[in-house]
Each structure stands twice: as C-alpha cells, then as structure tokens.
Amino acid sequence: MTDNFWQTLSLEEMTRTQWESLCDSCGRCCLHKIEDEDTNEIYFTDVACRYLDEETCQCPHYEMRQSWVPDCLTIYPDWGDKFNWLPSTCAYRLLYEGKSLPDWHPLISGDKNSVHLAGISVRGRTFRDDKIAQEEIYQHVITWVE
C-alpha cells in the first residue's frame, strides 16, 4: 500500500484495499438517524443497528450486510452531497471535504484501538434497535456525534 495514499490519491483513485482502510470502525454510521424534512438536517441517535458488534464496533455481516439490513449504506467515491449523511469524524467525509485525517485515525496512529481510546467510537454508548420501541427513538437523539 502506498504510504499516506490518502494525501496523494483522490477517493476515486484508491484501490479497494486503500478505500476500505479509511474506515476507522467507529460504528457511528450504524446509528439510527432522523432527518428533519423541512431543513434536511440530520440528527444522530444512540440507537445502533442490532447487528453491530458492541465491542469492536464492526459489522459481523459486512460483505453481505444488505442481505441483513436492506437499507444499510454503501459509500461511493462519487457520493457528493450524500457524504453529509456520515458523521463529521468519518474519514470518507473528511477527505471529501478536503480535510486531514485526525491523529487518532488508525492510519495515522498505527493502532486500531486508538479510535476507541479517543472516545470517537460508539463502544459502550449504544442501545440496540431491537430493544427500543420505534416511537421511543426521538428520546434517543444525541449530540456527541456532532
């Protein structure tokens, strides 16, 4: 893998391996979100997909995830404005916005655990969506993602 490829290649130019390595496994994109229809503003909740591994914050069904959750996101380099659906700490959104990766990102720190140590991941902070009644979701809006 090219050293610091994220500084020299566009999202479109990256190999699949490089692209996948941008994900820091924070688990934030697996939180349920609520969109204000009038303002298009996105609000995150602390309710996570039932399949998210609460310890690793990774998806145990990643390759086949749409078979388990049909509306689970697939991120594409040409997503454009849709990068706003991702948390502001997400490497895909940061690079799309022309920003740098933070020090806690595993590609910078060399340590996959740094995303948890920095308090960025959702580890220990979520409820599973199969344990929450749908009408309760509005009580779970959080501000620690943004």
Please report whether residue 27 would count as binding ligand SF4 according to CB under 6 A: yes
Query: Binding-site residue total for ligand SF4 (CB under 6 A)?
Result: 22
Please report whether residue 14 would count as binding ligand SF4 according to CB under 6 A: no
CB-nearer residue toward ligand SF4: 9 or 65: 65
Looking at the DSSP bridge assignments, the partners of residue 47 are 127
What is the C-alpha to C-alpha distance for residues 61 and 17, in angstroms, rounded to an integer? 18
What is the C-alpha to C-alpha distance for residues 111 and 73, in angstroms, rounded to an integer? 26
Please report whether residue 59 would count as binding ligand SF4 according to CB under 6 A: yes
Rounded to the nearest whole angstrom, what is the least distance from the CB of residue 1 to ligand SF4 in the complex? 18
Please report whether residue 92 would count as binding ligand SF4 according to CB under 6 A: yes
Segments in the chain forming alpha helices (H): 5-8, 16-21, 65-68, 91-96, 106-109, 114-117
Please report whether residue 106 would count as binding ligand SF4 according to CB under 6 A: no
